């Protein structure tokens, strides 16, 4: 079973305050300066507490933000708190590690000839009126699947993230909601950009990941912030989330 705690190996002065953990056999190293430099989007500064919580959730949920699985976003004049965003793919990978997971079905809900129809996938006719999305997650230890049905009107607020792919987006929302309800202990604290209606410009995040080659950063590869009194940055406090599922 994989250890959920950060490694406590001996670190050089430059590396102190860096949390080290393993995701799918790859070592991930996260510190406050690394997060602020590469993994924050938006136009408002994030607090130490927000950065610490981000690092903790990544560690306990085995997320590698350098592969696009998670990032922080914060805007002035909106929610005063930073939002942690994860990818749908990250949630699917987490669910796939659970021994009781047996797959997912998903699609869209449309109005066709005056009737409500549930379609698989995101394809519909030009004459269909898109209403929402649906998803079913199957577990071997439950008699019925966990089902989620979501309304397009509730989530499509005209933000750029939805663009011309409304069917794809609302299907994603249904999928992640069904996954969270099916595995609340493993996925309960994780939300996607489609649900939050928040997203940094894709080119901005792509540029940041390209700068580091979309791979784990070694502490010696970045400059670390100095803090008052010459003290090393404190280790992040664990976020109040359930530890990830681990097979026995």
Per-residue pLDDT tens over the stretch 137-157: 999 999 999 999 999 999 988
Helices (H) and strands (E) in the chain, counts: 8, 9
Q: How does DSSP assign 153-210, residue by residue?
A: HHH--S-TTTTT-HHHHHHHHHHHHHHHHH-HHHHTT--BHHHHT----HHHHHHHHH
Q: Give residue for tokens 């409500």.
A: 116
Which range has the top average pLDDT, 64-78, 90-104, 191-205? 90-104
Q: Give residue for tokens 């869209």.
A: 108
pLDDT number for residue 174:
97
Element (H, E) at 83: strand 83-86
Tell me how far the alpha carbon of residue 51 is from its chain's centroid.
Answer: 15
Q: What is the pTM of this model?
A: 0.71
Q: Decide if pLDDT at 58 tops 70.
A: yes
Alpha-carbon torsion, ordered 158, 150, 105, 110, to 10 deg: -70
Whether the Cβ atoms of residue 31 and residue 215 lie closer than 8 Å to each other = no
């Amino acid at each position: 079973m994989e250890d959920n705690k950060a490694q406590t190996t001996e670190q050089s002065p430059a590396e102190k305050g860096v949390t080290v953990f393993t995701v799918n056999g790859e070592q991930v190293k996260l510190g406050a300066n690394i997060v602020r430099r590469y993994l924050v989007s938006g136009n408002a500064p994030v607090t130490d507490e927000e950065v610490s919580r981000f690092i903790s959730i990544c560690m306990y949920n085995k997320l590698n933000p350098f592969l696009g699985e998670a990032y922080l976003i914060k805007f002035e004049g909106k929610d005063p708190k930073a939002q942690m965003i994860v990818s749908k793919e990250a949630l699917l990978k987490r669910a796939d590690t659970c021994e009781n997971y047996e797959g997912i079905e998903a699609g869209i809900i449309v109005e066709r000839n005056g009737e409500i129809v549930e379609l698989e996938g995101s394809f519909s006719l030009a004459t269909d009126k898109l209403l929402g999305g649906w998803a079913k997650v199957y577990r071997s230890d439950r008699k019925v699947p966990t089902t989620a049905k979501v309304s397009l009107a509730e989530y499509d607020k005209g933000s750029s993230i939805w663009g011309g792919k409304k069917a794809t987006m609302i299907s994603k929302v249904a999928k992640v909601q069904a996954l969270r309800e099916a595995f609340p202990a493993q996925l309960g604290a994780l939300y996607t950009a489609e649900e939050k209606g928040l997203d940094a410009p894709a080119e901005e995040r792509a540029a940041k990941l390209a700068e580091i080659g979309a791979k784990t950063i070694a502490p010696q590869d970045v400059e670390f912030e100095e803090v008052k009194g010459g003290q090393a940055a404190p280790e992040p406090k664990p976020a109040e989330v359930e530890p990830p599922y681990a097979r026995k």
